[in-house]
Amino acid sequence: MPNAEMPSGALVLLILRVLRSGTFHGYAIAQRIHCLSSEVLKVEEGALYPALQKLLLQGWATSEWGISETNRKVRFYRLTPAGREQLESQLADYERVHGAIQSVLRTA
């Protein structure tokens, strides 16, 4: 089955949620999203790294260089307190919109 296209705006939310559970490098974040979505969502490098840069610029994540499990120099990302607040805000918005869409689909 082909990979589904990522809904607009969802990538930042998914990255924030993955980072809530720990510190990961970029490739590990993409793999975690892919695995947790039952291999439906695939995060391309061209979308992942600009989204991570946005998180850093907004102060929602920090990063530090380290060595990966494959002995490569990589950047590890960690959620900040502001990132946790942003995640909660985006989750609330998502739930509100999701509920509204479900309501239309059930009753239209």
Question: What is the per-residue pLDDT across 23-75, written as a single tens digit (0 to 9) for each?
Answer: 999 999 999 999 999 999 999 999 999 999 999 999 999 999 999 989 999 99
Confidence of residue 6 (pLDDT cuts 50, 70, 90): confident
pTM: 0.89
CB 6 within 8 A of CB 41: yes
pLDDT value of residue 2 = 53
Class of 10-107 in CATH: mainly alpha
How many beta carbons lie within 10 A of that of residue 70, not counting itself?
Answer: 7
Confidence of residue 108 (pLDDT cuts 50, 70, 90): confident
* Neighbouring-strand partners of residue 102: none
Terminal-residue alpha carbon distance, the chain: 29
DSSP 48: H
